[in-house]
Every structure is written in C-alpha cells, then in structure tokens.
Amino acid sequence: MATPDRAGWFDDPENPEQLRYFDGILWTTNVTPRRTRWEAPAAPQAPSTTPVAPPVNPYAAPPATPGMPPMTRAGFSAGPTTDDGVPLASYGLRVAAYIIDGIIAGFLGMIAGGWFLWQAIAPVRAAFEAALASGDPEGINAAMTNLDLRALAIYSAIALVVTMAYQLFFLTRWSATPGKLLLNISVRRVSRPGVLDFGSASRRVAFMTLLSALGNMPYLSFVGLAGTVADLIWPLSDRRRQTLHDKVADTVVVVGRQSRR
C-alpha cells in the first residue's frame, strides 16, 4: 500500500477492518473501526398482567412457630414464647420481681407480727448487754441461747400468712403481684391467657408457702432450703421458663398484663 502524502485517517495497512491515523510522516497507534454499527432501541413492551411474586429476601427472619423461640435476622433466638406466641418473661425480670415482692411482703409481715419478733429478740439483747457490761466473753457468745423460740415461731407464722395472702390477693385480681406489675410481667395459665382463677393461684402459692414453712422447721430446714433453691433456678433450664411452683399450678410468667375474660 502506498504511503499517504498528507496527514489523516486512512486504511490501516495491518488490518483492513479499521482505519489508522497518518500524521504526515509516520503511522500512529491511533485506530478506529471503519464503520460503527448502531442498533435501534427495542420497542417498549406492554405491561404484563401476570402477578409477579415478590423477591425472596435471604436475610429475612423465618416465621415464628407457636411455642418455639422466634429467630432474629442474625439467627439467634429472641426468647421462648407460649403456644399462642406471647413472649415469656426473662429470668432476670422474674428475679427482680421476686426481690421487690419479698421486700414488700417482709415489710407487711413486720407490721403484722413485729411485736412478736421484738419479744423473741428482747431476751437476747438483754443478755448481750449484761455480758458486755460485765466483760464476760462467754456470756456474749451464749446470749443467742436466750432467744424466745415461741415468739419467733408466732412471728414466722404471721409473716408466712401475710405473704400467702399478699400473693393470693394480687394474683386473683391482676394475675401479677406489685413487683410483676412494676416490671410489666404477669402470670397466666399455660393453655390460655387471662387472670388466674383461685384454684391455680392457690396451688402456686401453697407450694411456695410449703417450702418456706419447711425452711423454718427444725430438722427439715435443709429440705426447705434445697427445695427453694431448686424452685428458683429451675427456669434457667426449663423450655417454658417455669419454676417448680409454676409446674404445680400449670402456669407461666409472660411479658405484659392479663385481662379478665
């Protein structure tokens, strides 16, 4: 092919399908296709009347199964629920409510039976002060033997009855004690929502009262203590987060309040 006598775009001597620029002296590296093909835009399609399923989100949480913990997007359990999907109260909330109710019931017990408690410890205080004044170390150690066990037993019985009445009163009216009401949790039957009936509430309270009574009895206090500890820690490994007194009464503790039906 003859060398052009001027600068410009000419047939590429190395590739007949493209043009190469000649600067008047040398062939440059600038090339371009001999022609450019343009495709006409496609005609717009009529909208389809066939319903299209929404895209599946692979990261969406699966639907909750009744009685099973709902799953979060990260794949971790958000907590167990009742068979009808109500979240169960956490162990921490239950412990906090237990402490609050213990303080309130203890205060009411002191009001009702505080005189007997004072009578029980008065001999101890008198013996301790006398031994302290005389400098008798053996008397100080022996002061506790002067405890009036009869008065102490009466106080313990009164406190137990007050606690039992406290629990029954609130459970049969609001299905929650003040501690639970404060933390927005409540007690309900396993099979259905609603405020507890007297039978369920009394079975629940009677079991707790029995453990407390055993804890105050000679030779049986170890049984009461072991039962109370087992009752308190049982929800940690239970599918429904039930305590032993929940199982006796067929109840669970859930988030939210109960309505009368």
Over the stretch 221-249, which tens digit does the pLDDT of each residue have? 788 888 889 988 999 998 999 999 999 99
Q: Can you give the length of the chain in residues?
A: 261
pTM exceeds 0.75:
no
The residues near 218 (Cβ < 8 Å, ≥ 6 apart) are none
Residue 77: phi and psi, rounded to 5, are -70, 135
- Residue 14 has a CB neighbour count (10 Å cut-off) of 10
Query: How far is it, in rounded angstroms, from Cα 116 to Cα 146?
Result: 15
pLDDT per residue, tens digit, the chain (261 aa), is 677 777 788 888 888 888 888 777 787 888 888 765 444 455 556 565 666 656 555 444 455 555 454 444 433 345 789 888 899 999 999 999 999 999 999 999 999 988 988 888 888 777 777 766 776 666 666 666 777 788 888 998 999 999 999 999 999 999 999 999 999 999 999 999 999 999 999 999 999 888 888 877 777 778 888 888 998 899 999 899 999 999 999 999 999 999 876
Measure Cα distances from 110 to 161, 210, 214, 221 in Å: 12, 20, 20, 22
For 149: left if phi > 0, alpha if psi spans -120 to 50, otherwise beta; the answer is alpha
Task: Find out whether 39 and 58 touch, Cβ atoms under 8 Å.
Answer: no
Q: What is the pLDDT of residues 124-172, one digit of tens each?
A: 777 777 766 776 666 666 666 777 788 888 998 999 999 999 999 999 9
Rg (CA), the chain: 41
Identity of the residue numbered 43: A
Nearest alpha carbon to residue 67 among 48, 81, 49, 54: 81
Measured between alpha carbons, how far is residue 115 from residues 1, 150, 152 in Å?
126, 13, 10
